[in-house]
């Protein structure tokens, strides 16, 4: 791999999934670098999630999408949501 490695916070904004609004107030850290052709990156908290983008903005969006797909992968379409206090 070529390029330097940087860290930056990735804020996950509320989004719709199957017509429902999914709240995400979590901040994650991305580690990214410039490859020969694309920007490459992964989530520091979930290193199994890695993707690429032609721009840094595209890389950030691809990481958000990959995270959401991982989190929602086994959830059926008729799911419900409820906020709880920790």
pLDDT, one tens digit per residue, over 31-51 is: 999 999 999 999 998 999 999
Residue 33 or 1, more confident = 33
Query: What dotted CATH number matches 6-72?
Result: 3.30.160
Please give the structure tokens belonging to residue 82.
């409820």
* Res 26 pLDDT > 80: no
pTM equals 0.65
Q: What is the mean pLDDT of residues 3-27?
A: 58
Percentage of the residues of the chain whose pLDDT score is greater than 90: 37
- Cβ contact 78:69 at 8 Å: no
Q: What pLDDT was estimated at residue 18?
A: 58
- Phi-psi label, residue 50: left if phi above 0, alpha if psi -120 to 50, beta otherwise: beta
């Amino acid at each position: 791999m070529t390029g330097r490695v940087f860290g930056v916070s990735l804020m996950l904004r509320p989004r719709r999934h199957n017509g429902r609004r999914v709240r995400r107030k979590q901040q994650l850290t991305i580690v990214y670098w410039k490859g020969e052709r694309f920007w490459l990156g992964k989530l520091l908290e979930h290193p199994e999630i890695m993707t690429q983008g032609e721009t840094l903005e595209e890389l950030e969006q691809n990481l958000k999408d990959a995270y959401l797909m991982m989190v929602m992968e086994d959830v059926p379409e008729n799911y419900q949501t409820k906020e709880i206090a920790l």
